[in-house]
Amino acid sequence: MNIEPAKIANKGSLLDLDLVGTTDRDTSLQVNSKLLWDGRSWTLVNFGDTIVTLLPEAGQPMQLPNRFFVELLDRGSISLVAASTPPSANEEVCKFLAAASPEALAFANHRFQLVQAYFQGQTDLTSDIVPRTLRRWVKRFREAEAKYGCGYVGLLPRTGARGNRTPKAPLDSRELLDKYISEYYETPRQAPAFSVYRAYQRACSQKGIPHLSSSTFYKRLKKRRGYESIKKRIGAKAAYPLQPWVWELSRSTPRHGDRPLAIAHIDHTRLDIELRSMATGQLLGRPWATLLMDAYSRRILAVYLTFDPPSYRSCMMALRICVARCGRLPQTVVVDGGKEFHSIYFDTLLARYCCVKKTRPGAKPRFGSVIERLFGTTNTEFIYNLLGNTQATKQVRHRTLEVDPKRLAVWTLGDLYVFLKKWAYQIYDQSEHEALGTTPHQIYLQGMSKGGERLSRQIPYNEEFLMATRPTTRSGVAKIRAGSGIKLHYLYYWSEAFRDPEVEGTKVPVRYDPMDVGVAYAYVKGRWVKCISQYYSIFSGHSEKELLLASTEIRRARKLTGILPSVSAKRLAEFIANVQEHETLLLQRLKDLEGKQVQNALLVTEMETLIPDVPSQQKLVPSQKPTFSSVQETELKIEPINLSNLPVFGEYC
């Protein structure tokens, strides 16, 4: 046998031995490598220049000449059993240990102590164990040491592998059971489980095969009960809680962003409180609140209150308030599938100021959990402490006249909005948030100091921005007619700038104020000009929705009389002039008047933003504003109330 001399390289505690012999194999030996020789485990302690030292499991160390050790290793009498990777990295060992129960680990620990006592010759500790059992444990320990590099896993009990674990039931019975579960139980019919089992029994009898027991049937149902099963049987909404939680919006974007104003959520909710009219005391119903919330700091960026259902007007107002308070818009706005979030006006405003809109999936509130939870917090911490809250209506059979919210309602829209802003911008903002461990205001300041001010995204709150928040028509332009002006919503609007012969007959971009259809705006020769309606005295202060209701009623009345439905500015003016005689328009007019209180509450913030150079002592402060009680007393003295001639208290802002 031709054996080349071993090449040894000392690198600290590492000895590399390259062996080339008749077996034509390369083996790498390290100090403390495990060797198997004559059925016993040995440890390589030292590989010297002439002597190799081996340590057995029990007994004294043994020394062998180098050439003799290499010859035994080359013949295969001595085999290397320990891998170069540490035992902790062995996937099989980790798999066995992870699957072991605490009881199994306790058994393995006891057996390991007895095996070690056997290796060390301590017969007094192993006298109570049957010798055959002890030898079987030692054999399993050595086999696991040689196969996995960890003899401990060989001592784990094998209870789970005992017996014949293959299914005993016929294959046809099992397949038929699964078929009836999928085709008869997991369906929108929602058939009772036992009815499906009886049908399964009848089918087995017809085919002449044995049926499985009811306990097996229910066990199979329990195993199959998951997202797909509940979705097929009850629906996607019922199965939604079983879906995994989504922790991020995309792979590279954290779910709540990594800085303030990176991601914001906007949504609407109907507050659980009944409100009255300040002018007449009539019940006007529950208001809608629009909230814009920063996902990173949980800070409320904007809150807006109105009686109108969710629309693009509420979205525009929320973005206006955000710019007035923060000087910029969020980089990403997360919305739901509502139509108001997908209007051309809302999309145009976001695109104009480089804001990305992300739409969360329908019927999956986890994607908007931040703002959905805020709605509940608003009700529980603020609304439920006010008179007229609608908690009593949730238990209809328990409600009496003494606790009826409609009888207890005392709040008006303007008063509620003043205190709602104080709660959102001060109380909630300065209170410790459970998810943050500190206040939203503090997290916002820390995030701004770390993420930077980003002055490039600053938006000046000026007339240009306000014009961008005003909606336009479907086409976005209107034709200037000589002597008449532009036509919007059946109405003609005129401006002195239209007298220029160069602009007559041309189409110009137009905008209008949804809270006051008496005025419109046209972009003529590089500037926006204000246009007045031909019936300004009648339409001034009336909202776009009120105009829509009036035109709908005119069409309905003319359709009943058999006259071709047509709507003109004159008919609209006559119809709105008799607003007191029409209940629908009257109610909408009362709601619009209440909305003016909200506009007045926002007037101070807007004036301070538009006129930053005014000294602080000359700015309007809350103590200088007229109280709502004084306004109520003044209006109540007017007898009778002519709602069509009431003045406009503030502009749409």
CATH 3.30.420.10 boundaries in the chain? 248-463
Give the CATH class of 248-463: alpha beta
Nearest to 514 by CA among 551, 569, 471: 471
Among 493, 574, 496, smallest CA distance to 536 is for: 493
Percent of the chain at pLDDT > 90 equals: 37
- Report if pTM > 0.75: no
- Return the pLDDT at 557: 57
Best CA proximity match to 622, nearest among 640, 642, 604, 610? 604
Q: Which of 201-205, 462-466, 543-547, 568-572 has the highest mean pLDDT?
A: 201-205
* Number of other CB atoms surrounding residue 516 within 10 Å: 21
Q: What is the pLDDT of residue 520?
A: 94
List C-alpha distances in Å: 189 to 200, 357, 451. 17, 39, 54
- pLDDT band for position 490 (50/70/90)? confident
- The Cα 401–Cα 393 span in angstroms is 11
- For residue 361, is pLDDT > 70? yes
Q: In this predicted model, what pLDDT tens digit does every residue of 512-526 receive, in sequence order?
A: 888 788 899 999 999
pLDDT of 250 above 80: no
Domain with CATH 1.10.10 in the chain: 171-242
Helices of type H across 163-279? 171-180, 193-207, 214-224, 227-233, 236-239
Query: What is the per-residue pLDDT across 423-445, written as a single tens digit (0 to 9) for each?
Result: 999 999 999 998 889 999 999 99
Residue of 137, 179, 514 lying closest to 346 (CA atoms)? 514
Supply the mean pLDDT for the chain: 80
Q: What is the pLDDT of residue 245?
A: 62
| Residue appearing with tokens 């056997």 | 118
Instruction: For 113-128, write each residue's pLDDT tens digit.
Output: 999 888 888 877 777 8
Neighbours of 160 (CB within 10 A): 12
Cross-strand bridge partners of residue 358: 334
Average pLDDT over residues 568-594: 61
* Contacts (Cβ under 8 Å, ≥6 apart) of 292: 264, 265, 266, 300, 301, 302, 303, 318, 319, 321, 322, 330
Confidence category of residue 531, pLDDT binned at 50, 70, 90: very high
**Residue 77's CB: how many other CB atoms inside 10 A?**
11
Q: Please, are residues 259 and 324 in contact by the beta-carbon 8 Å criterion? A: no
What pLDDT, on a 0 to 100 scale, did the predictor assign at position 363? 76
Residue 583 has pLDDT above 60, yes or no: no
What pLDDT shows up at residue 92? 83
pLDDT at 44 over 70: yes
Give 269 or 308, the one with higher predicted confidence: 269
Radius of gyration of the chain (CA): 41
| Higher per-residue pLDDT: 326 or 67 | 326
Residue 9 has pLDDT above 50, yes or no: no
Least confident of 464-468, 554-558, 630-634: 630-634
DSSP labels, 199-224? HHHHHHHHHT-PPPPHHHHHHHHHHH
Per the listing, tokens 């600053």 go with 458
pLDDT higher than 70, residue 555: no
Residue 613 has a pLDDT of 43
Please state the length of the chain: 653
Span 478-499, average pLDDT: 91
pLDDT (0 to 100) of residue 543: 74
**Among the listed ranges 149-163, 585-599, 601-615, which one has the minimum average pLDDT value?**
601-615
Residue whose pair of structure tokens reads 């009496």 in the numeric block: 400
CATH no. of 171-242: 1.10.10
Cα gap 521→508, rounded to integer Å: 10
Angle between the 583-610 and 413-422 helix axes, to the nearest 10 degrees? 40
Does the structure show a pLDDT above 60 at 539? yes
pLDDT confidence of residue 564? 46
Give yes or no for residue 199 having a pLDDT over 50.
Answer: yes
């295969």: which residue's tokens? 76
Distance CA 184, CA 197 (A): 10
Question: Quick one: pLDDT at residue 197?
Answer: 95
The structure tokens listed for 376 are: 């509940």
C-alpha to C-alpha distance for 224 and 215, rounded to whole angstroms: 14
- pLDDT bracket for residue 385 (50, 70, 90): very high
pLDDT > 90? residue 265:
yes
User: Across residues 526-547, what is the average pLDDT?
Assistant: 82
Q: What is the mean pLDDT of residues 635-648?
A: 48
CA–CA distance, 109 with 104 (Å, rounded to integer): 9
Q: Which tokens hold the place of 310?
A: 């969710």
Rounded CA separation 390/385 (Å): 11
CA-closest candidate to residue 373, choices 438, 295, 480: 295
Judged against a pLDDT cut of 70, whether residue 645 lies above it is answered with no
Arithmetic mean of pLDDT, 340-366: 88
Please, which residues have CB within 8 angstroms of residue 587's CB and are 6 or more apart in sequence? 284
Say whether pLDDT at 559 is over 60: no
Rounded average pLDDT over 595-606: 68
State the pLDDT at residue 567: 59
Which residue has better confidence, 326 or 24?
Answer: 326
Is 60 exceeded by the pLDDT of residue 617? no
Is residue 204 scored above 80 in pLDDT?
yes
